Homo-oligomer: A and B are copies of this chain.
Amino acid sequence: MDGVAPNAVAAVSEARQWDRLMQMAALGAIPGDGVNRACLTDLDRQARRLLLGWGTALGLAPSVDALGNLFLRHEGTEAGAAPVLTGSHMDTQPNGGRFDGIWGVIAGLEAIQALREAGISTRRPVELVAWTNEEGGRFAPGCMGSMAYAGFKPADTWDGVTDNEGLSFGEELRKHLALEADIPRRGLGVVDGPAPFAYVEAHIEQGPRLEAEGLDIGVVEGIQGSRWFVVEIAGKTDHAGTTPLSLRKDAVQDMLRAVSALNALMADPTDVLRFTVGRIEVHPNTSNSVADRVRFTIDFRHPDKDVLLTRGDAIARVVTEAMTTCTATVTERFHALPATFDPMVPAAVEAAAKAQGLSTLRMPSGAFHDAQFMVPVCPTGMLFVPCRGGVSHHPSEYSEPGQLAAGTRVLAAVLAELANR
């Protein structure tokens, strides 16, 4: 190995990777250097064809599964050896950037290309994957492709989920697969076949820590747990000019009390806990009517399972007790316990980075990733590169070409190392 990885690392091309990222960014470009490329759209299919073109030109074997997860396979030397899987997703948030997700796919391709250009054969195959619908921006929830691959949910779970135009995920997926009928079909992950040997995902940090501390590579040890709730408050609509405040059931005012009480519940002097009310919908939402309905979301995350369970379980009670005149229902929409990665991949990432003279930080991932669902399937890990201001899910999302290339060099070394185990 000692003589192998350095050649692959040296073959990683910063310029080629950047050029590919910019070609991808043109598909769904929006003002301010942003990208809006929802899954299962024509833009998504154009991006996938672009990737397919690059991969097949290298001699990689393409395939697609029942969820539309797209694979490009670099063969190993040992028949039947479980592959090392790397990749991420190609869809973006509606007001997204040029690096979230797509860099992990392009980095995987670049790393495999570097292996091949360096003339390196590996014992195990290396497979590149582009997961379907990680963002959940068009069809909620996200991570459908990886969840189905990992057998976390049946493949038809989301068939009835509709987008803003009323189109269903099931129908859009069938249409999508028909349009990619020329690509060989493969079985669905561990539902239809054996598990990979390992999964490695490269991603921008989507947080401010690496940049703030001037570090090169985040060695991700796990993904914090998340619990998502929807709170619906029901009151009564009234004329804003005539109804005395004492007779109102004002859903906006009780929403205010609920969020204030939740702020107290979620207080954390260590600043590790993440609590966000990011979406609020008011009905009828007119300036001269008292609101009879408010719906708001809670996004609560923590790396410690006990905190996640104790405080998360208290949310419904705290909201209910905060009501003065309205009634509230609290529905949990998503519950993912913290995921801890097997030490194997993080150790490989850390070793490769250090061997290349890069500085590292062991950290949890604050954001959600497809890697979350791979944890029960095989040894899993992620590597992060810094992003400017910690910003993601926004057109201004940015990582420097050199930062991205450094991450890809680490990924190439990790893939070479794992694929020879």
A residues within 8 Å of B by Cβ?
93-95, 137, 205-209, 212, 224, 226, 228, 237-247, 250, 252-253, 256, 259-260, 263, 268, 271-282, 284-291, 297-299, 301, 365-368, 390-394
Is B243 within 8 A of A208, CB to CB?
yes
The answer, among B205, B278, B285, for a CB contact under 8 Å with A252, is B278
| Cβ contact within 8 Å between B279 and A285 | yes
Among B242, B287, B365, B394, contact of A205 (Cβ-Cβ < 8 Å): B242
Asked if A282 contacts B271 (CB within 8 A), the reply is no
Query: Which residues from B are CB-within-8-Å of A290?
Result: 276, 278
Residues of B within 8 A of A247 (CB): 208, 212, 390
A-B contacts, 8 listed (Cβ < 8 Å): A93-B286, A241-B366, A242-B367, A243-B274, A256-B259, A256-B263, A276-B287, A281-B285
In the complex formed, the residue of B with least CB distance to A277 is: B252
**Residue in A93, A243, A298, A299 whose Cβ sees the most chain B Cβ within 10 Å:** A243
Which of A244, A272, A276, A297 has the most CB atoms of chain B within a 10 A radius of its CB?
A276
The answer on a CB contact under 8 Å between B271 and A252 is no
Of A239, A253, A301, A365, which is in contact with the most chain B CB atoms at under 10 Å from its CB?
A239
Contacts of A268 in B (CB 8 A): 245
| Interchain CB contact under 8 A, A390 and B242 | yes
Copies of this chain assembled into the complex: 2
* A279 touching B286, Cβ below 8 Å: yes
When C-beta atoms are compared, the residue in chain B nearest to A95 turns out to be B284
- The residues of B that contact A242 with a CB separation of less than 8 Å are 205-208, 274, 365-367, 390, 392
B256 A299 Cβ-Cβ under 8 A? no
Partner of A238, one of B244, B287, B391: B391
Q: How close is A246's CB to chain B, nearest CB, in angstroms?
A: 5
Closest residue on chain B to residue A276 by CB atoms: B240
The answer to whether B239 and A390 have CB atoms under 8 Å apart is yes
Partner of A280 from B209, B212, B280 at Cβ < 8 Å? B280
Q: How far is the CB of A41 from chain B (nearest CB, A)?
A: 18
- A256-B260, A282-B279 known; A207 vs B287 contact (CB < 8 Å): no
Q: Which residue of B lies closest to A208 (CB)?
A: B247
Chain B residue numbers with a CB within 8 Å of A365 are 241-242
Candidates B243, B274, B291; contact of A207 at CB < 8 Å: B243
Contact residue among B224, B241, B263, B393 (Cβ-Cβ distance under 8 Å from A224):
B241
Which residue in chain B gives the minimum CB-CB distance to A294?
A: B280
CA gap between A250 and B279 in the complex, in Å:
12
Report yes or no: A285 in contact with B280, Cβ–Cβ below 8 A. Answer: yes
Closest Cβ of chain B to A234, distance in Å, is 14
- Among B93, B208, B238, B241, contact of A226 (Cβ-Cβ < 8 Å): B241
> Is A366 a contact partner of B280 (Cβ separation < 8 A)?
no
The 7 closest A-B pairs by CB, nearest first: A207-B242, A242-B366, A287-B297, A240-B276, A241-B366, A240-B299, A241-B367
Shortest distance between the CB of A226 and any CB in chain B (Å): 7
Residues of B within 8 A of A245 (CB): 268, 271, 273-275
CB distance from A266 to the nearest CB of B (A): 9
Task: Check A301/B240 contact, CB under 8 A, given A279-B285, A280-B280.
Answer: yes
Q: How far is the CA of A246 from the CA of B297 in the complex (A)?
A: 20
Contact, CB under 8 Å: A239 / B392: yes
Q: Which of A208, A274, A288 has the most B CB atoms < 10 Å from its CB?
A: A288
Question: A240: nearest residue on chain B (CB-CB)?
Answer: B276
Nearest Cβ distance between residue A233 and chain B, in whole angstroms? 13
CB–CB A276/B299 < 8 A: no
Instruction: Indicate if the CB atoms of B282 and A287 lie closer than 8 Å.
Output: no
Task: Say whether B271 contacts A244, CB under 8 Å.
Answer: yes
Is A366's CB under 8 angstroms from B288's CB? no
Given the contacts A208-B247, A284-B95, A287-B228, A367 and B278 also touching, CB distance less than 8 Å: no
Contacting pair B259 A288 (CB below 8 A): no
Question: In the assembled complex, how far is the CB of residue A263 from the closest CB belonging to chain B, in whole angstroms?
Answer: 8
CA distance A260 to B237 in the complex (A): 20
